[in-house]
Amino acid sequence: FLYESRQHRRSARESLDCAMALHELTQMGVESIITFDAHDPRVQNAIPLNSFETVQPTYQFIKALLKNVPDLKVDADHLMVISPDEGAMG
């Protein structure tokens, strides 16, 4: 996960921890960042000259479930998708 990925821009008194962490990584010589499910992909704007990719594992996870669990029932009575916050469901 990308540390403090929700802190990609300042509003009121919010910090810029994620942008600072990305900048520090590039200063240490990191050329490419690959993260899973960044809360807001615009965080890549903090390091515009470096490679940044956010992988959305949800679709791959569901695809693997459907392929590998033949008796999986995908309906409201047998399957529920939950999320820790509303933003993760978008």
What's the predicted TM-score (pTM) here?
0.56
Q: How far apart are CA 71 and CA 49, in angstroms?
A: 47
Residue 39, amino acid: H
Angle at 25 between CA 19 and CA 27, to 5 degrees: 105
DSSP output for 31-83: -EEEEES-S-GGGGGGSTTSEEEEE-HHHHHHHHHHHH-TT---STTT-----
pLDDT tens digit at each of 90 positions of the chain: 455 445 445 455 455 788 888 899 999 999 998 888 777 778 888 888 999 988 888 888 888 988 999 898 888 888 777 766 666 555
